[in-house]
Structure 1
Amino acid sequence: MRDSAHDPRDAILVDFGGVMTTSVLDAFREFGASLGDPELPLTLLSTDAAAGRLLAEHESGRIDADAFDTGFAERLRAHGADVEAAGLSARMQHGLRRDEASIELIRRQRRAGVPVALVSNAFGRDCYAGFDLAELADVVVISAEIGVRKPSRRIYQIACDQLGVRPDRAVMIDDLAQNLAGAARLGIAGVLHTDAVDTHRQLVDRFGFHE
């Protein structure tokens, strides 16, 4: 029987990059360091209007990785970085690694009968290479495949509908606060992921999930 908790929930929505993998932000900083400025890629994606549009269009599936790479290389060059467009998004993610502890945490919840949806903003051509997404989650919702990305409420609603759960019975695990804020607008509770140990503690202590 599930332990009672202050806010008991029944289902999990979980991010991919930064949860099932090591930090995407750290990978982008590692790439930026190779250009001489660790913060430049993240700064442009968050503050440069043209770069932000490229990211939104790419994650939503309206432009492919090659178009993103070409456009973002131009924005980087405009800010003093000497960078080639070919394979840019792959190089930006070169530092990513599997986070086996987080993967096992989600596996344990699924083995205990908790329904899980993977909810991910796609980036690059092969960001899911080496992962069996169907083995990680009962439902897989990829932004580029449905034409909407986090933090839009629609992507979380689609995930809940496919799982067959009400949003107010679900928890979203993500490493980005803005994505949790989007989910919260539907009543989905949030766990800001930093590592598997803390996420496990929050799932158990706050929401009554399985040890």
Structure 2
Amino acid sequence: MTGTRNAVLFDFGGVLTSSVVTAFEEVGRQLGADPRLPLRLLGTDEQSSTLLVAHEEGRIGEREFEEGFAARLRAHGATVEGEGLVSRLQELLSPDVDMIALVAELRSDGHRVGLLSNSLGDDCYRGFDLPAMFDAVTISRDIGVRKPSRRAYQAACERLGVRPEDTVMVDDLRQNIAAAHRIGLAGVVHREAATTAHELRELLAPAGRRPVSSTEQ
């Protein structure tokens, strides 16, 4: 069956980079705590998750997030200072060259490609020339809203000039794909490049078919 969609939105951390989950677990180990503690707090501890949302939406900077989150980690038994906490995480992430190549390949095939990312850290995209890689870039801190809010997906589609129903979202978090589905995007839960490439080929129109922008509907 030939796909019909013409555009792809890519997440950043854990899609264009190595696993964010693995990086957080390594930070937990480095702190001498349960490796699962940092992610568990961000997911279930109200104060930690509030800090994360505020930072990803651009309402607080990296340092304020670090200090607040370090305090929550200490409250749960970890020995950690706030300064450098985000950098420690980022140093554990490496570019996924196969996924970066896939973005370039899809774009050269005539598909529109965009980035939709929840930002963690004030300089988390260092080393990536995002404007050169993508037709449109949407960062949570710039638009004041983060995935899985439907407004984030709508903003990304508008910037890319496409309709949600013509677009595929690639993300490493299943809940973000479920949210994308709710406004009409198809989704691929990313685990590794070869599988993601195969699933995208099943959803996308054949190479060379010109994407239809939302302004042409």
Q: TM-score under structure 1 normalisation?
A: 0.95
Once the 2 structures are TM-superposed, how far is the Cα of residue 206 of structure 1 from its aligned partner? Answer: 3.7
Distance in 1 of aligned mates of 2:153 and 2:206: 20
Could you tell me whether the CA contact under 8 Å between 1:28 and 1:93 is conserved in 2? Answer: no
Name the counterpart of 1:118. 115
1:141-192 CA distance string (max 9 Å, x none): 0000110000111111111111211100100000001111111111000000
Q: Considering only aligned residues, what root-mean-square deviation do their CA atoms show, in Å? A: 1.4
SS state of the match for residue 13, structure 1?
strand
SS state of the match for residue 9, structure 2?
strand
Distance in 2 of aligned mates of 1:105 and 1:66: 34
Mind listing any 5+ residue stretches in structure 1 that lack a counterpart?
none
The amino acid of 1:23's aligned partner reads S
Q: Give the fraction of aligned pairs with identical amino acids, expressed as a percent.
A: 52
Could you tell me whether the CA contact under 8 Å between 1:203 and 1:209 is conserved in 2? Answer: no
Could you tell me whether the CA contact under 8 Å between 1:12 and 1:172 is conserved in 2? Answer: yes
Name the counterpart of 2:29. 33
The amino acid of 1:185's aligned partner reads R
Change (3 A) 1:209 1:97: farther
Distance in 2 of aligned mates of 1:149 and 1:197: 28
Name the counterpart of 2:215. none
The amino acid of 1:62's aligned partner reads R
Once the 2 structures are TM-superposed, how far is the Cα of residue 132 of structure 1 from its aligned partner? Answer: 0.2
Q: 1:58 aligns with which of 50, 55, 59?
A: 55
Runs of 4+ in 1 over 6 A off after TM superposition: none
Name the counterpart of 2:135. 138
SS state of the match for residue 67, structure 1?
helix
Mind listing any 5+ residue stretches in structure 2 that lack a counterpart?
208-217
Q: 2:7 aligns with which of 5, 11, 18?
A: 11
State the aligned residue count: 207
1:41-99 CA distance string (max 9 Å, x none): 00100010000000000000000000000000000000000001111111122210000
Matches within 5 A, 1:68-87: 68-87=65-84
Could you tell me whether the CA contact under 8 Å between 1:9 and 1:209 is conserved in 2? Answer: no
Distance in 2 of aligned mates of 1:199 and 1:100: 14
Q: 1:193 aligns with which of 190, 194, 201?
A: 190
1:6-65 CA distance string (max 9 Å, x none): x42110011011111011111111111111221110010001000000000000000000
SS state of the match for residue 183, structure 2?
coil
Q: 2:104 aligns with which of 107, 132, 135?
A: 107
2:149 corresponds to 1:182: no
Q: TM-score under structure 2 normalisation?
A: 0.92
Change (3 A) 1:209 1:106: farther
Name the counterpart of 1:161. 158
Distance in 2 of aligned mates of 1:171 and 1:163: 12
Could you tell me whether the CA contact under 8 Å between 1:90 and 1:125 is conserved in 2? Answer: no
Could you tell me whether the CA contact under 8 Å between 2:5 and 2:203 is conserved in 1? Answer: no
